Amino acid sequence: MGERLDVDVAIVGGGTAACAAAVALRRHGLTVAVLEKRRCGAGASGVNFGGVRQQGRDLRELPLSRRARPLWDGLNALLGEDVEFEATGHIKLARSEADLEFLERYRIDAAACGLELTMMGADAVHAELPWLGEKVLGASLSPTDGQANPRVVGPAFARLARRMGAEVREHTPVEAVAHTGSGFVVTAPGLEVRARRLVNAAGAGSGLVAASFGEAVPLTPLSPNMLVTEPMPYFVSRSIGVCGGDVYVRQVRRGNVVFGGGGGWQDHERGLARPNDAESLGGMKRTLQVVPGLAHARVIRTWSGVDGQMPDAIPVIGPSRTTPDLVHAFGFSGHGFQLGPVIGEIICELLVDGATPSPIEPFAIDRFDGLASAAPADAPVGGSTHTEH
Amino acid sequence: MSVAKLPHVAVVGAGPAGLRAVEVLVAGGLNPVLIDEAPRSGGQIYRRPPPGAERPAADLYGFEAAKATALHGLLDRLGDRVRYRPNTLVWSIEGKRLRLLADERFDALEVDAMILATGAMDRVLPFPGWTLPGVFTLGAAQIALKAQGVAIGRRVALIGAGPLLPLVAHQYRKAGAEVVLALDVTAFLPKVIHGFGLLNAPATLAKGLWYMARNVLGGVPMRFGARRLRVEGTDRVEAVVWTDARGREHRVACDAVGASFGLRSEIQLADLAGCRIVFDDLTRQWQPERSPEGRSSVVDVYLAGDGAAIGGADVAELTGARAALTLLADHGRPADAARIDRLDRELARHRRFRRALEAAYPFPGHLLDDLADTETLCRCEGITVGAVRAAARERDVDEINRLKALTRTGMGRCQGRVCGQAAAEILARSRGVPVETVGRLRGNPPVKPIPIEGGL
Ligand SMILES: Cc1cc2nc3c(=O)[nH]c(=O)nc-3n(C[C@H](O)[C@H](O)[C@H](O)COP(=O)(O)OP(=O)(O)OC[C@H]3O[C@@H](n4cnc5c(N)ncnc54)[C@H](O)[C@@H]3O)c2cc1C
Ligand SMILES: Cc1cc2nc3c(=O)[nH]c(=O)nc-3n(C[C@H](O)[C@H](O)[C@H](O)COP(=O)(O)OP(=O)(O)OC[C@H]3O[C@@H](n4cnc5c(N)ncnc54)[C@H](O)[C@@H]3O)c2cc1C
């Protein structure tokens, strides 16, 4: 027989949400095991666009996003390394009258949630971003939003969890989860974990875990397609998005311009995604229209990743409806990077206090009861309908 | 696959392997597309000067002149039965669709089958001074001579760990350049011990010895077994300094250095095509799995030449022909059994030779152990050896993609094509684990940088 572990909390998955939860739980003195199939922070958490954005979120998600935002200011100190968070602001461009109206309505709604957005007229936008190619009619600026280096955040949370005494097990694919009379039994090759409580934070793999407890969910893989140029002189001073979400672009301090374009391919066999060339070409064209200054840039890499997508594009966060002591947190639908740190805290609150001050009712797992679970698609995912990041 | 339908085949790479492959395909009745990013056919070894700057083949290719001339004339002989697309980069492969870049414009090509003959590049390892102006790879030094007809300097020092070293030394001397040093960083002894294996290819061995003899006779000082290698200079190369097996330090003044340490296969396209990539103990590199018949692990993707396993030019020609014959047979075309038999016997002999050759030139890992933390490892991103060692020590990094993610090693223009192997070796050494356990950099398009406006 393999190794056995006995812990207060077992966490399936090792993304930012999972590792942040481990940190919060350790702070409360609970023993924790993080079980990650590949490497911590190498899933969606490690390969995303790096947008740390509140603007544009579903209003139901905004309170969580607002709560997450100040955590980003303290991440370097917490994690002991530079996650390159910078509040460059996020500008969302309106290219039609309808876009403008939409932005103005969103501004009012967001203000009600405490998020201050500033509407900019066409002249103001072009004065601030003189390199914009397309004529825009206006834009909405979220000055407190920004960007960070996703490659660093997840692994750093995992290391902090480990330093704080969590059992962080990589290359440990969870193959079975079950609730026995006395708690949970989680099995991976060569390892059996017994835990009083269980967290399902396995990203795109969370559907299987949920289903093991009779909670089938319509979770599908989402794979945005990403591109990056060689380093160039710094000029994209803000993180840029557009209404509709078909263009998003930012520049890192090193000089590389990162942008998105459509969706990648699913590699079912390896549970990975790969970029889709046609989508990359489309993304290049569209981005060039908005940022013609990239005309002489060269793309040095394209990539993709897999997040979990829910039909209503907001996550599942909260207690299981079938099984006590089980908490779900997945299905971030392409915008869970910014939320990561706060999801950890909310998971901890749910397990330790049995409740969270954050309004998580909209994220209940049983909101889809009666809906058949969607089959994973083979076509490029995230291409036809654009996801904002 | 039915006999009636002619498969549409692309051959990537117009080196010895790709050229022999198209020749066989044409003989088999097909009309293949031959794609190469270089402006003229010939590949690395038989690289040609641009039109108008030609020099006699005997000067350029030495012993190999006849082979070079034969290969260079091959496309003319095949005429319009081959659609030749020079100056065309294949930047990605998705299934059987090739993504092309020609004249800064994107294009695509759908095929039924493909032969990847992408060749090899110099294996680069860092040493103090490797980024100084005046330091080139051996391959670049050779290309300067073949394609431009110029030497890299007036007093040239050549450093290597493989048969390319005596060869380039010979070519430089012959072109009239002063070669002040040919330094093989590996020891001399293994070359004697493995001499028996080398006898498996007598002609090749004779050539190697001949080059070595000519170098010695011609006054090129050959030295073996270097430690603590460094190139000195303030703004550019001034001298090569090293320590020999007995601990004595040597210093040779020069104004240019050609240095690289064996070859590494260009595997990115095979990787993108989905071919299984395996670790080769002997060369310590990741290579696409290739059957003796030239098949990859993916149906209708065939592999030939140095892109799948380093074998040199003659082997590249043989594997090119062999892979094409397999492709024909797999697609129901008649195949010449006698020729296949002959090729297989020759290839078996070369494989024994190759193993002996690799053993004679072991991977010079000691150069990496000698490196100070301050030395640059990844030139594109300016990452030091120390940054890699620190990541291994302090940030739990035990895998090459994680190293890249946290330190930017291999994240620049070359995407690790140059520094990837050295980075993996240094990482593995820091962790005290076998290099294969740190894995390899994941491949993603494009294999080389592409212009963002190529689609407009
Ligand atoms: C390309 C891309 C761009 C994005 N851009 C942005 C952006 O700009 N801004 C933003 O806010 N969000 C963005 N997102 C979304 C964001 O990255 C995700 O929502 C977030 O990282 C999800 O975190 P997670 O911890 O839930 O999932 P993940 O990071 O995917 O972690 C889940 C982990 O669970 C593991 N796992 C799965 N099954 C098992 C099992 N059976 N056993 C053990 N382990 C298992 C996986 O290996 C994975 O590491 C993007 C996503 C992608 C893919
Ligand atoms: C610089 C250098 C010098 C060498 N000198 C010698 C020598 O003197 N003697 C010797 O025996 N061996 C030498 N070699 C070894 C050499 O690899 C083989 O001798 C021989 O050239 C291998 O033939 P090949 O057909 O496999 O590949 P190559 O001759 O390397 O041909 C591969 C071709 O593929 C093309 N290509 C690769 N990727 C792509 C892409 N993505 N898109 C489009 N085209 C692509 C390249 O432009 C190249 O022309 C040398 C190698 C190098 C790198």
Q: How many separate domains does chain B show?
A: 3
pLDDT of residue B341: 96
pLDDT of residue A185: 98
Is there a contact between B452 and A152 if contact means CB atoms under 8 Å apart?
no
Is there a contact between B106 and A298 if contact means CB atoms under 8 Å apart?
no
Q: How far is the CA of A334 from the centre of ligand 1 (A)?
A: 8
Tell which of A36, A81, A151 to mutate to test the B interface (max B CBs under 10 Å).
A151
Q: Taking residues A364-371, what's their average pLDDT?
A: 86
Residues from chain A contacting residue B455 (CB–CB below 8 Å):
281, 284-285
pLDDT of residue B209: 59
- Mean confidence (pLDDT) of chain B: 90
A288: nearest CB among B106, B402, B453: B453
Residues from chain A contacting residue B450 (CB–CB below 8 Å):
298-299
Q: Answer yes or no: do A266 and A296 share one domain.
A: yes
pLDDT at A384 over 50: no
Q: Answer yes or no: do A315 and A349 share one domain.
A: yes
Q: Answer yes or no: do B174 and B241 share one domain.
A: yes
pLDDT of residue B193: 60
The DSSP element (H or E) to which B209 belongs, if any, is helix B202-217
Min Cα–Cα distance to chain A from B102, Å:
14
Instruction: Name the least confident of B135-144, B194-203, B307-316.
Output: B194-203
pLDDT at A371 over 70: no
Which residue, B451, B377, B455, is CA-closest to B412? B377
pLDDT of residue B145: 87
B444: nearest CB among A151, A155, A274: A274
B444: nearest CB among A254, A275, A297: A275
Residues from chain B contacting residue A302 (CB–CB below 8 Å):
444-446
pLDDT at A374 over 60: no
pLDDT of residue B2: 47
Q: Residues with Cβ < 8 Å from B433, sequence gap 6 or more?
A: B398
Residue B168, domain extent: 133-261
Collapsing DSSP states into helix, strand and coil, what is residue A171?
A: coil
Residues from chain B contacting residue A159 (CB–CB below 8 Å):
395-396
In angstroms, the CA A379 to CA A278 distance is 12
Q: Which ligand is nearest to the CA of A249?
A: 1
Q: Answer yes or no: do B114 and B143 share one domain.
A: no
Express each pLDDT in A295-348 by its tens digit: 999 999 999 999 999 999 999 999 999 999 999 999 999 999 999 999 999 999
pLDDT of residue B175: 85
pLDDT of residue B190: 64
Q: Answer yes or no: do B51 and B14 share one domain.
A: yes
Is there a contact between B97 and A275 if contact means CB atoms under 8 Å apart?
no
CATH code for the domain of A356? 3.50.50.60
Task: Tell me the sheet residues that pair with B450.
Answer: A299
Q: Answer yes or no: do B241 and B270 share one domain.
A: no
Q: How far is the CA of A230 from the centre of ligand 1 (A)?
A: 25
Is there a contact between A300 and B92 if contact means CB atoms under 8 Å apart?
no
Q: Answer yes or no: do B327 and B377 share one domain.
A: no
Q: How far is the CA of A44 from the centre of ligand 1 (A)?
A: 3
Ligand 2 nearest-atom number relative to CA B88? 43
Give CA A251 to chain center in angstroms.
19
Q: For A194, phi and psi rounded to 5 degrees?
A: -105, 130
In a domain, A77, yes or no: no
Express each pLDDT in B255-269 by its tens digit: 999 999 989 999 999
Q: How many helices (H) and strands (E) does chain A have?
A: 10, 22
CATH code for the domain of A263? 3.30.9.10
The reply to whether omega before A224 is within 30° of 0 (cis) is no
Give CA A319 to chain center in angstroms.
20
Q: What is the DSSP string of B48-89?
A: -PPTT----HHHHHGGGHHHHHHHHHHHHHHGGGSEEE-SEE
A155: nearest CB among B406, B444, B450: B406
Residues from chain B contacting residue A231 (CB–CB below 8 Å):
412
Q: What angle do CA B274, B276, B282 make, to 5 degrees?
A: 140
A277: nearest CB among B412, B413, B445: B445
Q: Answer yes or no: do B138 and B256 share one domain.
A: yes
- Which chain B residues touch A if contact means CB-CB below 8 Å? 92, 94, 97, 99, 106, 381, 395-396, 399, 401-402, 405-406, 408, 411-413, 415, 444-446, 449-456
- The label of the residue with tokens 């250095």 reads B257
Is there a contact between B412 and A300 if contact means CB atoms under 8 Å apart?
yes
Instruction: Name the least confident of A56-60, A185-189, B193-197.
Output: B193-197
| B95 CB-side CA count, 13 A | 11
Tell which of A48, A300, A378 to mutate to test the B interface (max B CBs under 10 Å).
A300
Q: How far is the CA of A344 from the centre of ligand 1 (A)?
A: 14
Residues from chain B contacting residue A300 (CB–CB below 8 Å):
412-413, 415, 446, 449
Query: Do the interacting molecules here have an ipTM over 0.90?
Result: yes
Residue A248, domain extent: 90-143+224-304
Min Cα–Cα distance to chain A from B268, Å:
12
Q: Taking residues B440-446, what's their average pLDDT?
A: 95
Tokens of A105: 């309505």
Domain boundary among B309, B335, B361: B335
Give me the helices (H) in B110-163, please.
Answer: 138-143
Give percent helix, percent strand, percent coil of chain A, each to the nearest 5.
30, 25, 45
The percentage of chain A sitting over the pLDDT mark of 70, rounded to a whole number, equals 94
Pocket test for ligand 2, best of B44, B98, B172, B287 (most atoms within 8 A of CB): B44
Burial of residue B79, with CB atoms counted within 10 A of its CB: 0-12 exposed, 13-18 middle, 19 or more buried: exposed
Instruction: Name the least confident of A288-297, B57-66, B236-245.
Output: B57-66
Q: Are A347 and A161 in contact (CB under 8 A)?
A: no
Residues from chain B contacting residue A301 (CB–CB below 8 Å):
411, 415, 444-446
User: For atom 19 of ligand 1, which residue has the closest CA?
Assistant: A336
Q: Answer yes or no: do A24 and A134 share one domain.
A: no
Express each pLDDT in A41-80 by its tens digit: 999 999 999 999 999 999 999 999 999 999 999 999 999 9
Pocket test for ligand 2, best of B34, B47, B211, B306 (most atoms within 8 A of CB): B306
Q: Answer yes or no: do A8 and A138 share one domain.
A: no
What count of residues does chain B have?
456
In a domain, B324, yes or no: yes
The percentage of chain B sitting over the pLDDT mark of 90, rounded to a whole number, equals 68
Q: Answer yes or no: do B141 and B250 share one domain.
A: yes
Collapsing DSSP states into helix, strand and coil, what is residue A9?
A: strand
Collapsing DSSP states into helix, strand and coil, what is residue B211?
A: helix
In a domain, A185, yes or no: yes
Q: How many separate domains does chain A show?
A: 2
pTM listed for this prediction: 0.94
Q: Answer yes or no: do B21 and B101 share one domain.
A: yes
Q: Answer yes or no: do B193 and B281 share one domain.
A: no
pLDDT at B298 over 90: yes
In a domain, A110, yes or no: yes
> In this structure, what DSSP letter does residue B339 have?
H
In a domain, B363, yes or no: no
Express each pLDDT in B25-82 by its tens digit: 999 999 999 999 999 888 887 888 777 777 777 777 777 888 888 888 899 899 999 9
Is there a contact between A42 and B106 if contact means CB atoms under 8 Å apart?
no
Is there a contact between B455 and A295 if contact means CB atoms under 8 Å apart?
no
pLDDT of residue A283: 97
Q: Which ligand is nearest to the CA of B91?
A: 2
Give me the helices (H) in chain A, please.
Answer: 16-27, 44-47, 62-73, 75-79, 97-112, 122-128, 150-163, 206-212, 277-290, 340-352
Q: Answer yes or no: do A240 and A121 share one domain.
A: yes
pLDDT at A8 over 80: yes
Strands B178-184 and B155-160: parallel
In angstroms, the CA A199 to CA A18 distance is 8
The Cα-based distances of B218 to B144, B175, B178, B185, B262 in angstroms read 22, 12, 10, 21, 24
Query: Nearest chain B Cα to A300, which residue?
Result: B449
Residues from chain B contacting residue A287 (CB–CB below 8 Å):
452
Is there a contact between A296 and B413 if contact means CB atoms under 8 Å apart?
no
Is there a contact between B446 and A42 if contact means CB atoms under 8 Å apart?
no
Q: Are A368 and A214 in contact (CB under 8 A)?
A: no
A285: nearest CB among B406, B450, B456: B456
In a domain, A389, yes or no: no
In a domain, A57, yes or no: no
pLDDT at A112 over 70: yes
Question: Binning pLDDT at 50, 70 and 90, where does residue B180 land?
Answer: very high
Angle subtended by helix axes A16-27 and A150-163, to nearest 10: 30
Collapsing DSSP states into helix, strand and coil, what is residue A260?
A: strand
Tokens of A310: 């829910």
Q: Answer yes or no: do B375 and B325 share one domain.
A: no
Min Cα–Cα distance to chain B from A281, Å:
7
Strands B383-384 and A272-274: unpaired
pLDDT of residue B1: 47
In a domain, B381, yes or no: yes
Collapsing DSSP states into helix, strand and coil, what is residue B45?
A: coil
Q: How far is the CA of A200 from the centre of ligand 1 (A)?
A: 13
